[in-house]
Amino acid sequence: MERWLSRLGRHCRSRTQFKSSNRNCDMEEPNTPSVNESIASSTITMYSPGQIAWATCLGAPLAGCWLLALNYRRLGDVTAAYLCWIFGSLGTVLLLALGIAFDPPEWLRPVIPVACAFGMYQCARALQGKAYDDRLANGAKKGSGWVATGIGILCLILILTTIPLPFIALLIFDLLRGS
């Protein structure tokens, strides 16, 4: 119990460090950013839901979740950033497995990345829309569209180079076993 109380005391001191001494930690208004938050929000960059959707269109859910994870890290939520990486990887693997297993018709193939991008846009708006708008209002910078494009292309290259690896491994195994 004492350990928890000392941690709570450190938390209160850190939140009131730059505030006037007559204010208590429990009396802080919920939507008023502290001086630390204002300084931090003016120096970070965050990616917009549109940039996240664009990266998703180029590089599958992995790319969009990469940018979501970057935003979460910059907001200080490391757990959510890790979850974005996990769900982005799983979503990309699931999307590729469904595409290989069911072989969609020719007319549906260009629709799939657009549908993924639309879904990721809605997800980014729901998860980070308010935080993104608040940070921009406090002076944060919008992330570079070129970086979002680069991350999307990098994920696309990563996906295109890792898909054939199991098939190449099986081919090499069969060649070695046969000789």
β-bridge partners, 46 = 142
User: Considering only CA atoms, which of 124, 145, 146, 123 is closest in space to residue 133?
Assistant: 124
User: What's the token pair of residue 21?
Assistant: 């001494």
User: What's the token pair of residue 117?
Assistant: 């991008």
The answer to whether the predicted template modeling score (pTM) of the entire model surpasses 0.85 is no
Per-residue pLDDT of 53-90, as tens digits, reads 999 999 999 999 999 999 999 999 999 999 999 999 99
For residue 145, what are the contacts with CB-CB under 8 A and spacing of at least 6? 51, 54
User: Considering only CA atoms, which of 66, 71, 52 is closest in space to residue 118?
Assistant: 52
CA distance 124 to 27: 32
Mean pLDDT, range 128-145, rounded to an integer: 92
Mean pLDDT, range 145-171, rounded to an integer: 90
Number of H helices, E strands in the chain: 7, 2
Indicate the average pLDDT of the chain.
81
DSSP state of 25: G
Question: Among 73-82, 91-100, 161-170, where is mean pLDDT lowest?
Answer: 161-170
Q: What number of residues does the chain have?
A: 179
Class of residue 46 by CB neighbours under 10 A (exposed 0-12, middle 13-18, buried 19+)? buried
Domain boundaries, the chain: 44-178
**3-class secondary-structure state, position 45:** strand
